[in-house]
């Protein structure tokens, strides 16, 4: 787990990250990573990230990877979340949920752990839209975002640029980890 960069008050600084379409996501700055003279930030969303899945009678849930912010599915999700005093936010990179979430019970997660090691989500809510069932799931693994930091602005690193920079970030993090041992 990366160490968090803290300011003098002990708080982790937050950064507003924008993607190529102008959508924003408020994140905590977990770590600064200098690469080739540029600064990159390893960030985690301030709000809880969620993923939308299509639920099937048989088989595993299917991740809905691309969804427009105006989709009727998200309007129904908004209503269902409001019943739990939660709000769905259409952010850059991911959907997020604001509000007081119950922390998962670690013992319950261990009990639910079947032979399938790929189960890395917890169901938050499920709902129906036009005869199909959907679920919003919270990823159990940390959700990291990479942004280029320049003159106080944070721009999401995405697409081919992310593919190029990811191995360099991983190498830099490994080197920092080795140096801290």
Report the C-alpha dihedral over residues 163, 169, 174, 180, rounded to 10 degrees. Answer: -170
**pLDDT value of residue 151:** 86
Average pLDDT over residues 75-95: 91
Residue 132 within a domain: yes
Q: Hey, CA dihedral for 109, 84, 100, 95, is it positive or negative?
A: positive
Judgement on whether residues 161 and 134 belong to the same structural domain of the protein: no
What are 115-130's pLDDT values in tens digits?
A: 444 468 899 999 999 8
**pLDDT value of residue 59:** 79
List the domain range (segments joined by +) for residue 122.
Answer: 48-139
Average pLDDT over residues 149-170: 90
Judgement on whether residues 78 and 58 belong to the same structural domain of the protein: yes
Alpha-carbon 62 to chain mean position: 18
Residue 102 within a domain: yes
What are 18-36's pLDDT values in tens digits?
A: 998 888 999 999 999 998 8
Which has the closest alpha carbon to 47: 81, 93, 96, 103?
A: 96
* Strands 153-156 vs 14-18: parallel, antiparallel or unpaired: parallel
Is the pLDDT at 72 greater than 50? The verdict is yes
Residue 126 within a domain: yes
Q: Hey, CA dihedral for 78, 84, 89, 90, is it positive or negative?
A: negative
Judgement on whether residues 65 and 52 belong to the same structural domain of the protein: yes
How many structural domains comprise the chain? Answer: 2
């Amino acid at each position: 787990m990366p160490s968090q960069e803290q300011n003098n008050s002990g708080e982790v600084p937050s950064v507003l990250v924008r993607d190529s379409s102008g959508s924003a996501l408020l994140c905590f700055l977990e770590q600064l990573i200098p690469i080739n003279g540029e600064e990159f930030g390893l960030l985690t969303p301030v709000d809880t990230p969620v993923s939308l899945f299509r639920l099937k009678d048989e088989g595993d849930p299917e991740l809905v990877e691309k969804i427009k912010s105006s989709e009727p599915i998200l309007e129904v999700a908004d209503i269902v979340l409001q019943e739990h005093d939660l709000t769905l936010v259409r952010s850059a990179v991911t959907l997020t949920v604001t509000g007081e979430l119950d922390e998962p019970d670690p013992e319950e997660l261990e009990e639910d752990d079947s032979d399938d090691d790929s189960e890395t989500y917890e169901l938050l809510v499920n709902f129906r839209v036009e005869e199909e069932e959907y679920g919003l799931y919270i990823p159990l693994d940390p959700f990291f975002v990479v942004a280029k930091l320049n003159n106080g602005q944070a721009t999401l690193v995405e697409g081919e640029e992310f593919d190029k920079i990811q191995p360099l970030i991983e190498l830099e993090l490994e080197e920092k980890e080795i140096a801290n041992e």
